[in-house]
Structure 1
Amino acid sequence: MDRRFRIVVLTIIITVLGGLCLFILMPFLSSLAWAAVFGIVFYPLYQYILRYVRSPSVAAAASVIVVVVAILAPLSYLSYLLVLEIENISPRALTIEGLTEMYSHSFLQPFIQKVLSLFDLSEEQALGYVANAAGTVSRQLLSRLSAGLGNVASAVVSFAIMVFVLFFFFRDGRKYVGNIQELLPLSEKNKEYVSGQVKDVVVSTIYGGVAVALAQGIVSSLGYMLVGIHSPLLWGLTTAIASFIPVVGSSLVWGPLCIYLFVKGAIAKGIILALIGVVGIGTVDNILRPLLIRGRARMSFLFTFLTVLGGMEAFGLLGIVVGPLVFALFTSILNIVKAFEEKDNPA
């Protein structure tokens, strides 16, 4: 059998089987990717624990527990505080007395009075309709929460898979990396170069994301305190966590708070908070994040900025890591090819 024919057949078989493997793993790709990210970021923690327990399995289990607690503990406590805050606000807001108080301070009052006169309604009747409508909407939202339980269950399963895979990434990570490196048709020097790029991009992206979240939390807390928002530290912490949400990010928190201030009639405070959100919080996200990522990843600010935004648009939250990582790998391969060309064609 001709050698070239064998190579072609083998390539087709590998491509088909590789595609099938990808298809089988497709539902778990997000969990696998996040496990790889956390495995790279927290691998020094695993190595530190391993120095004392001497058992890779025990060290991996302990590292996984630390990671899970570090993720779930703040989110659980924040959710509890937010529920308490919303419970304190909602009953008051959905009563006629609460709506009357907000209406009396609203800058829309002249416009609303003209609308009421057109329909021959009194303020009390209109507020009653609004309160009933708000209550109906609230009940509808609560009744539809069950529809979202499927998504919650899916998220829980994905998180459990990520935790399960993370254990093996900690324990056998070096073996996996070694196996992948053996498949790369590169010299040992270039293999280490590519591995270093992957590690630098992942670590800088996660650390940069945490730093940006902290900065946004601090700026937003000061802004909320300035305009008199109740529990500014709680809302600042919520803003920090929301900064990880793709596209909308922290505006998911400070935007509705601006609307709340406008409706209350606190126009100046609403404008101030909007300026803080757009100029202060927005600048932290758009400027600080690319600066922090590009430092260790050795990427230009422009391409870091574009790959972060493009990655989030294409892959969601995971795109914060995937976007810069793909570009870094692309430039790494180009540098390797350039080195080959210079070696084959010396000046």
Structure 2
Amino acid sequence: MHEKLERRSFILALLLVTLAFTLLLKPFFTPIFWACAIALIFFPVYRYLIGRFPRWPNLMALLTLLLCIVLVVIPVLAVASSFINQAATFYQKIQSGQIDLSQQIEQVRNAFPGINAALERTGLDLEQVKQRLLGGLMNAGSFLAKNALALGQNTLNFFVMLGLMTYLTFFLLRDGEKLVDLLIRALPLGDEREHLLLAKFAEVTRATIKGNLVVAVTQGTLGGLIFWILGLPAPLLWGVLMTLLSLLPAIGAALIWFPAAIYLYAIGDIVKASILMLFGFVVISLVDNLLRPILVGRDTKLPDYIVLFSTVGGLMMFGISGFAIGPLLAALFMAFWEIFMREFVSTSGGAAT
């Protein structure tokens, strides 16, 4: 009896200490998550290097980390800096009146009277729709400008988090296999289940991040390139926005290039509008339809609608990191239920004994 009480007391204390430690690490959730994700993606590179030079694990982990910084971190920082500058400039032009969104919306309305008729048939007030659209665009611009200012003011905090991420990534690359073995020994779920869940975690993380990012960057690059070729303003800004929106399956970059093509039609620039519309449907959309099922859906074994809802939900809960965390949680949810159905429910539908 005394031994059982001691055991329960220890388990309770263990849970409390674990909870306290988790809360302690909560401010560092984002760098920890991305350190784990980057380590998973670049671990095959480290494994290849350590296979060639097994006596120098620290040097091989450092070389892998430097490769990650050159291929991922530096390009992302460069594009993000240019994007923030163009977003702030674009918002300032709207505020100063150099760009008149109200006039541009009026041009679209006048060029497409069918839109007016359709809205009137549905009982919508055209002026109210216009004001809401303008308000939404201004709020989006204000959000971008404020976040750009906040990012500038919190540059030190950003680089501290970046430093913590790279620091942790080094140790996860070097000691990752040992940490996984330790985790499997510690978790009381059964070794076979733990191997399955950790394998699913690694599989979905690699597929989601690599697949979604490849699709998003490809679509954003193509979109920004066609904007630049057609001489449209701020091609980098719109290219980055298309990259971010491309993280949403089935919606994506069309939220930018399609309205831009409609506006070009409205102002009478038929050639540019037709080129943009054709390029958007044939090239940009084709990238999403071809690459996403290959790079994301096939590896995650998730239906497209699950990927869509989990991505949107992840973005709402976790910010930009949610495009990876959302599908990951969905995949783990399905993996847990798969294990439960296989091991605890009999084929006849009754509970297994």
TM-score w.r.t. structure 2 length? Answer: 0.68
In the aligned structure 2, how far is the partner of 1:173 from the partner of 1:330? 24
Quick one: which amino acid aligns to residue 240 of structure 2? T
* 2-structure distance, mates of 1:144, 1:236: 17
Once the two structures are TM-superposed, the CA of residue 188 in structure 1 deviates from its matched residue by 3.2
Counterpart mapping for 1:226-305 below 5 A: 228-230=230-232, 238-239=240-241, 241-243=243-245, 250=253, 254=257, 266=269, 289=292, 292-305=295-308
Q: Which residue of 2 aligns with 1:68?
A: 69
Give the AA of the match of 2:199.
Answer: G
Does structure 2 retain, via aligned residues, the 8 Å contact 1:308–1:319?
yes
Q: 1:16 to 1:263 in 2, by over 3 A?
A: farther
Q: Determine the structure 1 residue equivalent to 2:207.
A: 204
1:330 is aligned, of 323, 328, 333, to 333
- Contact kept? 1:35, 1:166, Cα under 8 Å: yes
Task: Identify if the C-alpha distance between structure 1 residues 146 and 202 changes in structure 2 by more than 3 Å, giving closer, same or farther.
Answer: closer
Residue of structure 2 equivalent to 1:9: 9
SS of equivalent residue, structure 1 residue 208? helix
Q: 1:22 to 1:259 in 2, by over 3 A?
A: farther
State whether residues 40 and 199 of structure 1, in contact with CA within 8 Å, keep that contact through their aligned partners in structure 2: yes
The alpha-carbon deviation at position 51 of structure 1 amounts to: 2.6
Contact 1:202 1:325 in 2 (8 A): yes
In structure 2, relative to structure 1, the CA distance for the partners of 1:244 and 1:30 (3 Å cut) is farther
User: What is the CA–CA distance in structure 2 between the aligned matches of 1:323 and 1:333, rounded to whole Å?
Assistant: 16
Q: Give the alignment of 1:163-174 within 5 angstroms.
A: 163-174=166-177
Q: Report the CA distance shift for 1:70/1:178 in structure 2 as closer, same or farther (over 3 A).
A: same
CA contact under 8 A between 2:35 and 2:165: conserved in structure 1? yes
Opposite residue 68 of structure 1, the aligned amino acid is I
Deviation at 1:43, TM superposition (A): 0.4
Paired residues of 1:238 and 1:253 also in contact (CA < 8 A): no
Task: Tell me the SS of whatever aligns to 2:188.
Answer: coil
**Which structure has the larger Rg over C-alpha atoms?**
1
Cα deviations by residue, 1:120-147 (Å, 9 ceiling, x for unpaired): xxxxxxxxxxxxxxxxxxxxx9999765
Task: Please tell me whether the aligned partners of residues 262 and 273 of structure 2 are also in contact (alpha carbons under 8 angstroms).
Answer: yes
Once the two structures are TM-superposed, the CA of residue 37 in structure 1 deviates from its matched residue by: 0.4
Shift of 1:220: 1.7
User: How many Å separate the matches in 2 of 1:338 and 1:145?
Assistant: 48
Aligned to 1:339: 342
Instruction: Quickly say closer, same or farther: Cα 1:243–1:143, change in 2 above 3 A.
Output: closer
Shift of 1:266: 4.4
**Any conservation in 1 of the 2:222–2:284 contact (CA below 8 Å)?**
yes
1:340–1:68 CA distance, 2 compared to 1 (3 A):
same
Flag the 1:64–1:48 CA change in 2: closer, same or farther, 3 A: same
**Distance change >3 Å, CA 38–CA 9, structure 1 → 2:** same
- Indicate the RMSD between aligned Cα atoms, in angstroms: 4.8
Q: Any conservation in 2 of the 1:194–1:329 contact (CA below 8 Å)?
A: yes
Distance 2:294 2:150 in 1: 41
Residues 14-62 of structure 1: CA deviation (Å, up to 9, x unaligned): 2211111011111111100000000101100111222333311111111
Matches within 5 A, 1:43-122: 43-53=43-53, 54-78=55-79, 107=107
Distance change in 2, residues 1:315/1:276 (3 Å) = farther
Maintained 8 Å contact 2:87/2:237: no
The aligned counterpart of 1:182 is 185
Distance 1:55 1:160 in 2: 23
Larger mean Cα displacement after TM superposition, 161-170 or 287-296: 287-296
- Structure 1 residue 311: Cα displacement: 1.3
Which amino acid is the alignment partner of residue 339 of structure 1? Answer: R
Is contact 2:242–2:256 with CA below 8 Å preserved after alignment? Answer: no
Q: What is the match of residue 36 of structure 1?
A: 36
Q: Matched residues in 1 for 2:146 and 2:186: separation?
A: 53
299 and 255 in structure 1: CA distance in 2 versus 1, 3 angstrom threshold: closer
Look up the equivalent residue of 1:202 and give its one-letter code.
T
CA distance in 2, matches of 1:165, 1:23: 18
Aligned pairs for 1:102-181 (under 5 A) are 107=107, 148-181=151-184
> In structure 2, the residue corresponding to 1:299 is in which secondary structure?
coil
Moved more, 164-173 or 191-200: 191-200
2:325 maps to amino acid: V
Name the SS for the 2:154 alignment partner: helix
What is the alpha-carbon distance in structure 1 between the residues aligned to residue 280 and residue 246 of structure 2?
A: 16
Number of residue pairs the alignment of both structures matches: 313
Distance in 2, Cα, partners of 1:251 & 1:215? 14
Sort the Cα spacing of 1:93 and 1:84 in 2 relative to 1 into closer, same or farther, 3 A.
Answer: same
Contact 2:310 2:327 in 1 (8 A): yes
Query: If the length of structure 1 is used for normalisation, what is the TM-score?
Result: 0.69
Q: Deviations over 1:224-261 (max 9, x none)?
A: 367x2359985675356444778997579658966985
Cα deviation digits, residues 284-314 of structure 1 (max 9, x gap) = 6699646632211222222222212211221
Alpha-carbon separation, structure 2, partners of 1:220 and 1:299: 27
Separation (CA, whole Å) in 2 of partners of 1:168 and 1:94: 48
